[in-house]
Amino acid sequence: MPKAKLNVKLLDLTSEPLALIYSACRQCYSEQFAGDIFEKIKDNKEKQAEFIKKIVASGHESPLEHVKFTFAIEGVSRALTHQLVRHRLASYSQQSQRYVKESDFDYIIPPSIEANPAAKKEFEKAMDSIQKSYTRISGLLAEKGLSGEAANQDARFVLPQASETKIIVTMNCRELLLFFKHRCCSRAQWEIRKLAEKMLADCRRYLPLLFSQAGAKCVSLGFCPEGARFSCGRFPVKKGK
């Protein structure tokens, strides 16, 4: 039952993303066919960049939905993915606890527990106990003729939210910007914030024009919308909050 570490890998990014956004936006206001617009603009990177800066500044974000990123993620807890899938404008493919037997499940230890020897000892004791219970339950079900996925789907009920999982996530750029606004904030839960920061680093690396200023809401607003009680102090609190 080893401790799992976060690993994020960018699997795919829409080819010619800026030309695609440019063509999508131009189609809204042009009599031309977007296919022709795309062919004319795809090699003019400077014109694409100049135009898209204006698009982003104007708040016209729907063309950004045509460009997507796909990430492979491992070393995260079930607690994290329960939060992640609340972002509904996305596609997910997650490792199944029904078809994948958790005979020696990995788990995530929260930093606060990791830093507290007594708490860490109790946590690891609980993980070990759950693993033994899972194995015993699987064995008892097998004695009654249940095995494979039939046994897994019921034995998994004892597994903790700390158990490690793997998931593939695809989000378009508009949804990613919203995801980062919420999950890069200091108030976000530590694990999903760490994931969001790694995803944002990839987005900035491959599409800096859209993501260089992306992040928590305060980055784009220039002030903290959370109020004095919850502000981390990075930006001033909006007056009246």
Burial class (CB in 10 A: 0-12, 13-18, 19+), 227: exposed
SS3 call for 42:
coil
Distance in angstroms (rounded) separating the CA atoms of residues 152 and 237:
50
For the record, the structure tokens of 5 come out as 């570490």
The CA radius of gyration of the chain, in Å to the nearest whole number, is 23
Distance in angstroms (rounded) separating the CA atoms of residues 126 and 102:
16
Distance in angstroms (rounded) separating the CA atoms of residues 184 and 235:
14
**Is 76 in contact with 164 (CB distance < 8 Å)?**
yes
Helices and strands (H, E) in the chain, number of each type: 11, 4
Give just the sign of the alpha carbon dihedral 84, 88, 91, 95: positive
Distance in angstroms (rounded) separating the CA atoms of residues 60 and 134:
51
What is the DSSP-derived secondary structure letter of residue 236?
P
Catalytic residue flag (residue 183): yes
- Find the catalytic residue in 86, 136, 183, 205: 183
Q: Which residues are catalytic?
A: 183
